Structure 1
Amino acid sequence: MALVPYDEHILSGLKRFHNSSTTYTFCNHPIQIKQDWKELGVAAVVWDAAVVLCMYLEAGGLNLKGTSVIELGAGTGLVGIVAALLGADVTVTDRDLAMEFLKSNVYNNLPKDLERRMSVRPLNWGVGLEHFSHFDVILGADIIYLEETFQDLLKTINHLSSENTVILLSCRLRYQRDHNFLDMMRKHFTVDQVHYDKNVDVYIYKAWKPQREEF
C-alpha cells in the first residue's frame, strides 16, 4: 500500500467524491449528477477529466452537431449528456453493474426532446464488439489507469473507429503506464495533445487513424 503524505488539498478533493450529488451548468442547462462512491467506487463519481472534456467540447474544441458519438467508461454520464446537448447522437457505455446508475443520471438530466438522441448500453472492453459499428467521435474521460485493461481498450477503440473517426481522451498522466498506453495508441493512430488544464493537471489528446495512401 502506498503512503500518501497529508495534504489538505488532496483531502478536500477526496471529500467531494463522497457527496451524494454534484451540480454543473453546460450549454445553459443545469445538470445534477448523482454520485455513489460507496457502492460503485470510481465509476460513480465525477472526475476532473470529465469536467475538463465537457468544457473543451462546450468551447468548440470539436463540433459535435449531427455526429454519432460513443463515450467509453461513461461512469456518471456527464460527458455524454453534454455531447447530446451539443447536438450529437450519443451512445454512452460502461460495465453492466453501472447501467442502472448511468441510466438514472442520463435520463434525469437530459431534456425530453433530446432523449431520442441518447442510448445507454453495456460495453465491456474487448467483448461483444460485433454489436457496435463505427462512430464519428469516440470520447473517454479518465479511462487510462488500469494497465490490465489497456489491450482490450485499444482493441475497442480500434473496432469503433474508421478513418474518419476522431478520438478525444481526457486524462491525468499519473504513472509511466499511462504514457505507455499513449505509445500503444501511436502504433495505430496519430495522437496529438490539443489541450492542457494546468489547474487540475488534465490533458486532452486527439487521435485519428492515418489515411491510407492511394496508388
Structure 2
Amino acid sequence: MALVPYVEAVVPALSKLQNSSASFHFASHDIRITQDWRKLGVAAVVWDAAVVMCIYLELGQVELKDKVSIELGAGTGLVGIVAALLGAKMTITDRNSAMDFLSANVKANLPDNLQKSVVVSELSWGENLDRYPSEGFDLVLGADIVYLEDTFVPLIQTLKHLCSHATVVLLACRIRYERDTNFLNMLSKWFNVAEVYYDKQRDIHIYKASKQLPRCDL
C-alpha cells in the first residue's frame, strides 16, 4: 500500500481505522494486528480486501503448503501471516518506511517454529527487482494494491519479473472506479485473468492470474 498521511478532518468516516489494533482468527490462530493510521496512513490498517483474501486462502482453493510465496504491498502483514500459518514459505514486502511496523506485526503473530520460514523485505515496485529471483515464486499475493494509476506500470513490471508461467497470482480488490478495471485490462495483456471469488457483503473481488505462454504464430 502506498503511504498516505492521515488527516482527520478530511476522512472522518474512517475514524474506526484509528483503532490501535485489530483482532482476527485464521488458520486456527488468534491474530492481533497493530494499526497506526496516524503515522503511516493506509499502509498501517487492515482493509476488507486483506480479510477477504485470508478467508479465500482458508478455503483451500490454492495450495499453500511449502509454496514459495510473496506478498506485495503487505501493509500490516495480515495476508502474509495467514499464508505462512497455512504453510507457505513467505516473503512479505512493502516500502521501506513500513518495514519496522510490518516486521513487528509478523514477529508478534507467528510461532517460533515458523519465524524462519518468513522474510520481511523492502520492495518498491519496479525498482531493484534483481534482488528477487526472476520467475522465482509459486504464488504472488496482493490485497488492495490496485488503486493508484501511477503504480500500475511498475506493478505489472514487478509481476512479470516475479512470475513464471506456473506462478499463481491472487489479487483482492474492490472495483471502485474505471481505473481499477483499466488495470485488469492492462494486466490481461501479459496474464490470463479470471475472477475466482466475490464477497458480496464486503464488495471484494478476488482475481486469479497466470502468465501467458508465448504465442507461436504459424
Give the TM interval when normalised to the shorter protein: over 0.9
Counterparts of 2:212 and 2:189 in 1: how far apart (Å)? 10
User: Aligned runs of 1:74-153 on 2, under 5 Å?
Assistant: 74-133=74-133, 134-153=136-155
**Count, aligned residues:** 205
Counterparts of 1:117 and 1:20 in 2: how far apart (Å)? 27
Corresponding residue for residue 39 of structure 1: 39
Report the Cα offset of residue 15 of structure 1.
2.8
Corresponding residue for residue 171 of structure 1: 173
Q: Which amino acid aligns with 1:78?
A: L
Q: Per the alignment, in what secondary structure is the counterpart of residue 163 of structure 1?
A: strand
Report the Cα offset of residue 212 of structure 1.
3.9
Deviations 1:165-215 (A, max 9, x none): 000000001110010000000000000000000101000000001234689
Counterparts of 2:212 and 2:100 in 1: how far apart (Å)? 37
Counterparts of 1:166 and 1:150 in 2: how far apart (Å)? 19
Counterparts of 2:180 and 2:73 in 1: how far apart (Å)? 16
Match of 1:198 among 197, 200, 204: 200
Once the two structures are aligned, what percentage of the paired residues are identical?
A: 55
Report the Cα offset of residue 13 of structure 1.
6.8
Corresponding residue for residue 52 of structure 1: 52
Deviations 1:24-56 (A, max 9, x none): 010110000000000000000000000000000
Q: Which amino acid aligns with 1:191?
A: V
Counterparts of 1:193 and 1:37 in 2: how far apart (Å)? 30
Report the Cα offset of residue 61 of structure 1.
2.1
Counterparts of 2:17 and 2:82 in 1: how far apart (Å)? 20
- For structure 1, list consecutive stretches of 5 or more residues without a partner in the other structure: 1-10
Match of 1:211 among 207, 210, 213: 213
TM-score scaled to structure 2, two decimals?
Answer: 0.91
Q: Per the alignment, in what secondary structure is the counterpart of residue 192 of structure 1?
A: strand
Counterparts of 1:143 and 1:122 in 2: how far apart (Å)? 15
Counterparts of 2:169 and 2:27 in 1: how far apart (Å)? 22
Q: Per the alignment, in what secondary structure is the counterpart of residue 16 of structure 1?
A: helix
Report the Cα offset of residue 87 of structure 1.
0.5
Corresponding residue for residue 3 of structure 1: none
Q: What is the root-mean-square deviation of aligned Cα atoms in Å?
A: 1.5
Counterparts of 1:147 and 1:169 in 2: how far apart (Å)? 16
Counterparts of 1:36 and 1:169 in 2: how far apart (Å)? 24
Report the Cα offset of residue 135 of structure 1.
0.5
Report the Cα offset of residue 63 of structure 1.
1.3
Counterparts of 2:15 and 2:58 in 1: how far apart (Å)? 27
Counterparts of 1:154 and 1:41 in 2: how far apart (Å)? 24
- For structure 2, list consecutive stretches of 5 or more residues without a partner in the other structure: 1-10
2:15 maps to 1:15: yes
- Cα 1:124/1:149, change in 2 over 3 Å: same
Counterparts of 1:157 and 1:16 in 2: how far apart (Å)? 33
Counterparts of 1:135 and 1:115 in 2: how far apart (Å)? 19
Q: Which amino acid aligns with 2:85?
A: L
Corresponding residue for residue 64 of structure 1: 64
Deviations 1:108-153 (A, max 9, x none): 0001100011000000000000010121000000000000111000
